[in-house]
Amino acid sequence: MPSQGTIGDRVRGLRLSRRMSQAQLAGPDLSDSYVSLIESGKRTPTPVVARLLAERLGCTTEFLLHGIEPRQRIDTELGLRHAELELYHGDPAVAGDRFGDIVKAAGEDNAMLAAHARLGRARALEAQGQIGRAVEAYERLRREAAAHPERLADLPLTVALCRCYQRAGDMLRARDLGAHALLQVDRLGFVQGELAVELALALVETETGLPYVERVLSEAGVLEACDRSSEVLALWQASVTAAEGEDSALAVQLADDALAAGRSARMAVRYARIAMRWARITTANPEDADLDRANELATSATGVFAAFPAEALEHARSLVVLSHVRLRSGDTESAVNLADQALDLLVSVRGTTAATAHLVLAEVALARSEDATPSLRRAQELLESNPAAPDRESARAWRMLGDLWGQAGSIDQQAGAYRRALEAVGIHVNIPGSTASAVLTR
């Protein structure tokens, strides 16, 4: 059965394959000129007319309107849901392949379906850490959304690009996109739902739009975490089994249930990430810092991450943030305990988070007039062995290390740490005693 790209193409193709004239297809109910307008794309048939034409052409209304039969459509919907389950709870690379298969199957006949599958493929690339390719995919989709707003919404793509540019280190572009998204959200006036949370997370990562971030956090209230991964996997497997038994409708329902079961956990983890970063920003502000609010948010985030074994690294980061909050509040004993807990989670992990935990221990030692050198040296070793590419996070750690070396009286070590802080944001200098504070706070 022909399935050209538009309704008009399908009407004309089916009519010609049945050797019917436009007047014959119009019959007593329609005019042949109206049929001609539909075939030329100048008119879109109403649902009643579409059913009438489908009966005369010997096809289903679904095929006439969308280019696929009902069974094909439900199988495609099932494919999309299984790809989403792979993205959230399985292998992002497999998810990308599945979204790609749907794009190929949909082709130009089902532009909206293909667009949503391409969006899924872009998200899969991002989840795999292929940020450059993800940005290219999101940018193409954003251009498509501008040309065809009926297929895709611009706002989710803007938020995704803000997130990706931030991860790629292009903070100016990320902040511009965040500001653009915030204008749209302010006009619509919502602070709840997945899109609001994704925007708040992107904004707090770029340290802009913080009043909106606070509104989203306030709306969320106390964060609750429940790991329902076993339920998700059981429902997913049941959906696969139903599909193998050719019960596609049941398979779709079970896949929807699996996605819904995982949604609360995804939202809780996202809220926790926002809360953790908000607390870190607040604690870093030396003036008018609301340490009680920072303590509340960091404690809540730590509780959420602790409920999910897969979030062990984020759990350690939240413990380090909370230890900073307690240190700023004067509770050095709690700060040490929390930093030690973070290091217990990071026994075999090297990098910025472990280094920052040692920096907390060094700061406590200095506050107590004790020897901070062992902790400072360990922090420096971890930063020097960090396999990750230089970024703002490591720049902050190097700057903090420089500050603490200075307090410990090691001027040469201080200068070296500040130099590394500058290098982490792409600035190479050879001036002894260079400081990074002005650059890193931009």
Two tokens at 122? Answer: 């872009």
- pLDDT band, very low/low/confident/very high, at 436 (cuts 50, 70, 90): very low
Domain boundary among 226, 258, 281: 226
Query: Is 117 inside any structural domain?
Result: yes
Domain boundary among 18, 43, 66: 66
CATH number of the domain encompassing residue 31: 1.10.260.40
CATH number of the domain encompassing residue 165: 1.25.40.10
- My answer on whether 26 and 104 are in the same domain is no
Query: Is 304 inside any structural domain?
Result: no
- My answer on whether 124 and 138 are in the same domain is yes
pLDDT of res. 2: 42
- My answer on whether 61 and 75 are in the same domain is no
- My answer on whether 104 and 90 are in the same domain is yes
Query: Is 95 inside any structural domain?
Result: yes
- pLDDT band, very low/low/confident/very high, at 440 (cuts 50, 70, 90): very low
- Determine whether 5 is exposed, middle or buried from the number of CB atoms within 10 Å of its CB (0-12, 13-18, 19+): middle
What values do phi and psi take at 415, rounded to 5?
A: -60, -40
What values do phi and psi take at 44, rounded to 5?
A: -110, 125
Residue 48: which domain range? 7-66
Stretch among 287-296, 366-375, 379-388, 406-415 having the lowest mean pLDDT: 379-388
132-151: pLDDT as tens digits: 999 999 999 999 999 888 77
Ramachandran region, residue 27 (left: φ > 0; alpha: ψ -120 to 50; beta: rest): left
- pLDDT over 80 (residue 439): no
Question: How far apart are alpha carbons 306 and 329 in whole angstroms?
Answer: 23
Residue 330 is given by DSSP the state T
- My answer on whether 48 and 91 are in the same domain is no
- Determine whether 215 is exposed, middle or buried from the number of CB atoms within 10 Å of its CB (0-12, 13-18, 19+): middle
Stretch among 265-269, 325-329, 364-368, 421-425 having the lowest mean pLDDT: 421-425
Query: Is 263 inside any structural domain?
Result: no
Output 322 or 385, whichever has higher pLDDT.
Answer: 322
- My answer on whether 32 and 171 are in the same domain is no
- pLDDT over 70 (residue 265): yes
Give the mean pLDDT of 13-26. 88
Pair 91, 97: CB distance under 8 Å: no
Query: Is 333 inside any structural domain?
Result: no
Q: What percent of the chain has pLDDT over 90?
A: 61
- My answer on whether 79 and 58 are in the same domain is no
- pLDDT band, very low/low/confident/very high, at 441 (cuts 50, 70, 90): very low
Domain boundary among 206, 226, 246: 226
Residue 311 is given by DSSP the state G
Which residues fall within 8 angstroms of residue 273, CB to CB, at 6 or more apart? Answer: 201, 301, 314
- My answer on whether 138 and 51 are in the same domain is no
Query: Is 162 inside any structural domain?
Result: yes
Question: Residues in the chain, how many?
Answer: 442
Two tokens at 442? Answer: 């931009």
State if pTM tops 0.85.
no
- My answer on whether 221 and 88 are in the same domain is yes
Range list of H helices, 207-351: 210-220, 229-244, 248-284, 291-306, 312-328, 332-345
- My answer on whether 37 and 150 are in the same domain is no
**Which residues in 266-352 belong to E strands, given as ranges?**
none
- My answer on whether 108 and 219 are in the same domain is yes
- pLDDT over 70 (residue 358): yes
Query: Is 121 inside any structural domain?
Result: yes
- pLDDT band, very low/low/confident/very high, at 286 (cuts 50, 70, 90): low
The one-letter code for the residue type at 291 is: L
- My answer on whether 91 and 149 are in the same domain is yes
The one-letter code for the residue type at 271 is: Y
Query: Is 412 inside any structural domain?
Result: no
- Tell me how many domains the chain contains: 2
62-100: pLDDT as tens digits: 778 777 655 667 788 899 999 999 999 999 999 999 999
